[in-house]
Amino acid sequence: MSGYERDDETAREHRQLELPEDRYQEELAFLIGYDNGPRPPGWRLTPRSVVLFICGSGQEPLRTADGRQLVVPRKFVGDRALVERCVVTLAGERGLLLVGEPGTAKSMLSELLSAAVCGSSTLTVQGSAGTTEDQLRYGWNYAMLLAKGPSREALVPSPVLTAMTRGAVARVEEVTRCLPEVQDALVSLLSERRMSVPELAGEGADGTVHAVPGFTLIATANLRDRGVSEMSAALKRRFNFEEVSPIADLDAEVALVRSQATAALTRSGAAFGVDDAVLEALVTAFRDLRSGRSAEGWEVERPSTVMSTAEAVHVASSMGLGAAYLSDGRDVVRTLPGHLLGTVRKDDPADHARLLGYWDGPVRRRAENGAPLWRTLWELRDELA
């Protein structure tokens, strides 16, 4: 093993967050041998195995022909049919656009799909108002350009161009935050499957780079960003749209928040000490405020802030960190109102009044109906002042 490889291995062990292709390396290797069915060009796994990797195998272990077996855990808490449609879209080498509210795991799903299909989730462009067309196409190593002139050695390919030459999946995050002229660079890429590099025309052919089989693109967009840079009709036609919705089942969302918060505290060297009942109350509050209606059917005024599952994970992690590092004997539930207020007031100060309205409505009613935890939360109303 070279010194570079040892350094890379050491760095990988100390990453805050692992790439899915590294974190699930054992599962991906197992699934390659599990299903010998037909694979689309350039794919590491069969489409069926990609769905299994993301949605899990349930409690039943998968078995290979040589006797190995493995239970594949569920990684994306959502509709299996949605994942299947995404996989079929990619198998047809068509662009996939994942849309939804912030915090609904669109990026995570795109990472998992990329890792399973081509073994890499890193060929990514982060869309923003500052994203340039070069970041979707190519740039130059100017020192080499001045020394040797235009050449393939001097060319700095974008993640998209790299994916085209490898037959891999490229990802564009927050595509609607890119300016329209930058978005338009994707139109020809997705329809013609080639990119013109006129500076290289003298090196043979016409300086055109053609995509090899397997190349495709996954983009994500937040529904709240529709008005930032509306996609053109031409670009929309190059994508299949799939909406990623909030988690429908309370128990599934609680389990996800618990596992994600536990993982976050484990990385911090602490144990997750938030009681299950407190965690369920936290997620219930998020779901009530997100939907505008409580689980009992009582109307709730929705705040302008997105009360996403991702935000619930952040609050649960903060409560767990406080209990681990700053505990002074207080019940962790006493910190919940303050954390909720910090989340709700992100976008509009008027949301403070909406949270107080939630306390005066569902929280008070649950307290009056005899729920002990909600009675404690009702008594903490002054914490919101």
Percent of the chain at pLDDT > 90 equals: 73
Judge whether residue 243 has pLDDT over 50: yes
380: nearest Cα among 345, 346, 331: 331
pTM for the whole structure: 0.89
Report how far residue 379's alpha carbon sits from residue 171's, in angstroms, rounded to the nearest whole number.
48
Residue 229 pLDDT: 80
Q: Contact 83/51 with Cβ under 8 angstroms? A: yes
Tens-digit pLDDT profile for residues 264-293: 998 888 888 898 999 999 999 999 999 999
Averaged pLDDT for residues 348-374: 95
- DSSP annotation of 103 reads T
The highest-confidence range among 30-39, 114-123, 299-308, by mean pLDDT, is: 114-123
- Band (4; pLDDT cuts 50, 70, 90): very low
- Band (10; pLDDT cuts 50, 70, 90): low
Report how far residue 223's alpha carbon sits from residue 219's, in angstroms, rounded to the nearest whole number.
13
DSSP H helix total and E strand total for the chain: 18, 11
Residue 159 pLDDT: 97
- Reported in sequence order, the residue ranges of the chain that DSSP labels E, i.e. its strands, are 62-63, 69-70, 95-100, 124-126, 138-140, 155-157, 169-173, 194-196, 208-210, 216-222, 239-243
Tens-digit pLDDT profile for residues 319-358: 999 988 887 767 889 999 999 999 998 888 899 999 999 9
Residue 207 pLDDT: 80
Residue 385 pLDDT: 80
Task: Give helix 372-379 / helix 276-291 axis angle, nearest 10°.
Answer: 70
Tens-digit pLDDT profile for residues 198-212: 888 765 557 888 999
Judge whether residue 111 has pLDDT over 50: yes
Averaged pLDDT for residues 38-61: 95
Judge whether residue 16 has pLDDT over 60: yes
Instruction: List the structure tokens of 81.
Output: 């049919």
Q: What share of the chain is helix, strand, coil (3-state, %, to 5)?
A: 50, 10, 35
Residue 187 pLDDT: 92
Residue 5 pLDDT: 52
Q: Contact 178/131 with Cβ under 8 angstroms? A: yes
Averaged pLDDT for residues 97-124: 96
Q: Tell me the pLDDT of the chain averaged across its residues.
A: 91
Report how far residue 61's alpha carbon sits from residue 267's, in angstroms, rounded to the nearest whole number.
28
Tens-digit pLDDT profile for residues 146-188: 888 888 889 999 999 999 999 999 999 999 999 999 999 999 8
